[in-house]
Amino acid sequence: MEITLTDQNFSAELAKSPVPVLVDFWATWCPPCKMLSPIVEEIAEEYQGKLTVGTMDVDQNPHTATQFGIMSIPTLIVFKNGQPVKQMVGYQPKESLAKKIDEILQS
């Protein structure tokens, strides 16, 4: 299951997650974001209980995107204990994304 993140709920959602959080920063007009979206949905399903997955529309929530220096989308950031531990910019094949997530979960 994915959660929709906003400037208003971002900190609270990260704080209440007992597991790492993958945040997909995207926009409706971004073709690579649309290509990545189904992969992010699959990751959310497959890693349920081990990883929280959230999506954030950067056009609707510019404050958080600016706070984390999002210059290109899609950008995926994995947060652990509320802190960013891994940032990936651009389209990610599912295998590559899963490998990076597995490394974070094992560390």
List pLDDT tens digits, range 32-87: 999 999 999 999 999 999 999 999 999 999 999 999 999 999 999 999 999 999 99
Q: Which of 5, 14, 33, 40 is catalytic?
A: 33
Burial category of 90 from C-beta neighbours within 10 Å (exposed 0-12, middle 13-18, buried 19 and up): exposed
30 is catalytic: yes
Residue 96 predicted with pLDDT over 90: yes
Residue 31 a catalytic site member: no
pLDDT of residue 1: 75
The domains of the chain are located at: 2-106
Q: Which CATH class is domain 2-106?
A: alpha beta
Question: pLDDT value at position 75?
Answer: 98
Q: Which of 5, 22, 30, 97 is catalytic?
A: 30
